[in-house]
Amino acid sequence: MQTNSLERLREIIAQLRDPKTGCPWDQAQTHASLTPYVIEEAYEVAEAISEGPKKLEEELGDLLLQIYLHSQIGEEQNLFSIESVAEKLCDKLIRRHPHVFANVVVSSAQEVKKNWEKIKREERGKDVQEVAILDSIPTHLPALLESSKIGEKVAPRNFDWDSVEEVLAKVQEELDELRAELDQKKSSPEKTREELGDLLFSMSQLARKLTFNPEIILKEANSKFRRRFALLEQAAQKRFPGTAMEAIPRKDLEQLWDGVKREEYKN
């Protein structure tokens, strides 16, 4: 009888971790050493969503590998297993969806989210007044994503802007403060750093207010720049063959850049 794919995966991971016959790299891994790989694979899953189902399927597999590796390490230490991980998840999903598995009635996704947060607070066994609301946000999140989630958390506590225009005004205020600091004859690096941070935080809140994930839209902007710069390199070599890019006058590069953008917009 053919082995279930998930059970087969578990057996493969166990064999990779086997102290005698396993892979030296897999044997050496710990929860801590695997941390950057979990983050990396999660990012690759997010990126694959826009690349089609085959790529997404592959990247989800890589992320699943991380889950099984952590579960195997937990089992070896008699702490938890893939079964206990799944069981806790099942219990949590049922507990946090009383509108599906119990008699609670909801009228919107927003109400579902509100109930979810309430149930989470109850699970912690603390009164809402005793819990610092931002403690639930992991501090190791990417900075842009963390700032967006901070805004999401404090908004229901009546600590948010009422409109996009108000956030834009705040962004302008922070930009003016940064410019004022830079315009001083002896600007302070520490103060400049602080003002720039305030501007970035405000920009993240603007993205949130516009219902965009700042991490994703910056990633998209990075991808766009990568694509355009590769085309710029090609155009520069075509117009100035054999010339190093750094030797090409800036005004010529800017003209080529404008041409790259125009061609992109045509297509």
pLDDT tens track for 15-74: 999 999 999 999 999 999 999 899 889 989 988 988 899 999 999 999 999 999 999 999
What per-residue confidence (pLDDT) applies to 226?
A: 93
Q: CA 200 to CA 151: how far, in whole Å?
A: 13
Q: List Cα–Cα distances, 110 to 92, 113, 134, 135, in angstroms.
A: 19, 5, 19, 22
Residues of the chain with pLDDT under 50: 1, 127-128
Helix axes 189-209, 164-183, angle to 10 degrees: 170
* Residue 19 tokens, joined: 């102290």
Helix axes 82-95, 53-76, angle to 10 degrees: 110
Residue with tokens 């079964």: 83
- The answer, as to whether pTM is greater than 0.85, is no
Q: Which of these, 229, 225, 266, lies nearest to 245 by C-alpha position?
A: 229
Q: What is the dihedral of CA 201, 202, 207, 208, to 10 degrees?
A: 80
Q: Which of these, 82, 107, 115, lies nearest to 12 by C-alpha position?
A: 82
What per-residue confidence (pLDDT) applies to 130?
A: 52
Number of neighbours of residue 65 by Cβ within 10 angstroms: 18
Q: CA 265 to CA 267: how far, in whole Å?
A: 5
What per-residue confidence (pLDDT) applies to 115?
A: 86
Number of neighbours of residue 206 by Cβ within 10 angstroms: 19
What per-residue confidence (pLDDT) applies to 121?
A: 75
Q: First-to-last CA distance in the chain?
A: 53
- Is the CB of residue 80 less than 8 Å from the CB of residue 71? yes
